[in-house]
Structure 1
Amino acid sequence: MSTPSTPPAATLKERGDLAERMLPVAGRLASIVHGDGGPQDVQNLIGNLGEQERVALLVVLAGLIDPDTQVSHALRWLEFNEHGETIVPELPGCEGVTVRDLGEELPVDTQPADVDEVAIARVLKGDRTVRLNRGERLRAILKGRQQGKTYLELDELLGYRPGASNQMVLRACKAAEARGEALEVAEPDNGALTKEQVLAVRNEAATGATDVELALRHGISRPAVTRLVTGVTYAQHGGPVRGTRTGAPAPGGPEAAAPRSAAG
């Protein structure tokens, strides 16, 4: 016998009422999954729900999760695997990664149909009241790069953690490549850097900033940063220069390996 379907909720009030009805179901389901029951209890609870109720249940459960919670914290309650064996969750590479970050790993449609260019333009001008969907956020990053904005500036405009917009573009490029397509990403022409810019990058590198951080902060490609801080380029401007690898002299001879002043 087929499961009866719940008529689609047509209005905001109806959808809100449906979500409210699913809240106790979500609470009971969470309790079962956290140890108050087993697979049959789950089936008994959700087996007779209609399609719209199941969708509403998913939305309610998602609403109970803080997307900025670290994945390691979100899964810390796990004590048993699928075979009932005691485990301690091991999450290599997940330290500092949030649930929101994890969601960003999903494939991206690089050419979504529902993109609001006006909303994107407002966000790039600093309007923080506009909410963009995922496709619009990717489009905003690509347009922002065309305008000469750094990834760090785009992270701030979109409310991302530092480096997230760059990672989103890299994932989109990989997804496009897997489909046999190419995602064009405009990299602004920074031209020749001034002495002040060179010294700023080298001084920040000397105090511990990574090449990736410097690339995001100054809008320079990571390889260009590496060449700059190791003295391959702009050697005439001085500043602290590091070796290309641990124990290796910096370009220009052994005396260049030690940090030197702008006048040196």
Structure 2
Amino acid sequence: MLIPFIFISACGADNANESEWRTLDLNNTVLLTLPQGKVVIELAPQFSPKHVEQFSSLVQKSFYDGTKFYRVIDGFVAQGGPKDGSEQDKSVPLLAMEGQFSTDGKAPFTLVQRDDLFAKKTGFKEGFAVATNNSKSGWLTHCPGVLAMARSNEADSASSHFYFVIGQAPRYLDKIMTIFGRVVYGMNHIQAIQRTTVIDGEYAVDSREHTPIISMKLMADVPKKDRIIIEVENTESASFAERLVKRRARASEFFYKKPPPVLDVCQVPIRSRLVKLQD
């Protein structure tokens, strides 16, 4: 898949889209209902088309309804899906890895940093944190809140098990896992998912206490009165580029000692705003 890139400096964005906000496509937005509340997920078919296609198809079949988050590690990930080895699990085709995408250097990519620990350049494209080492390919980064597909040891072994990053960014998973979405609303409910691992000496968490998925639906399939409509920050806009400059400078008087002018792509929250909540 070809995703063209050019770099827009965070010092200016003369050719950037001036609109500060972007409305999500209802066909690429998922409404996840947990016991503790509702979560809105933006999918990324522009980067991981096969994973989004399969995940969306499973969502439309109510595949995940009633399944649980069975591997939830504090500071790391919350992983859910059907029971391993079950008929439900084995019914889903395996997916080829979509850890990287091709580029040709012609579309906006808002630069955040050069030469971080994992890539020569990091930045944002269409709201997603991306990284690249050259002009030919890029990848999505494991920032908090991203949605990715779990797999076994073989690269092309993902199917239906997925995870959310709930801790600090595990960037060492970049390129070897497929990220295909991100949470844009309700991250507090994702953080409230029951942890399933304990420290030495504690009692194991009973599987009956694992957090269940009440339902998962494409927003386009949700009745209009029940939809949660979200707008997200347009990371190709001039105002976003200006925000990056200010965030890097840390000009507030609170910083009586200035930190180095370094800006980690995973420490730039992309703002969302609620346009309509269900009645």
TM-score for the superposition, normalised by structure 2? 0.22
TM-score by length of 1: 0.23
Higher strand share: 2
Larger gyration radius, structure 1 or structure 2: 1
Highest RCO, 1 vs 2 (Cα 8 Å, sep ≥ 6): 2
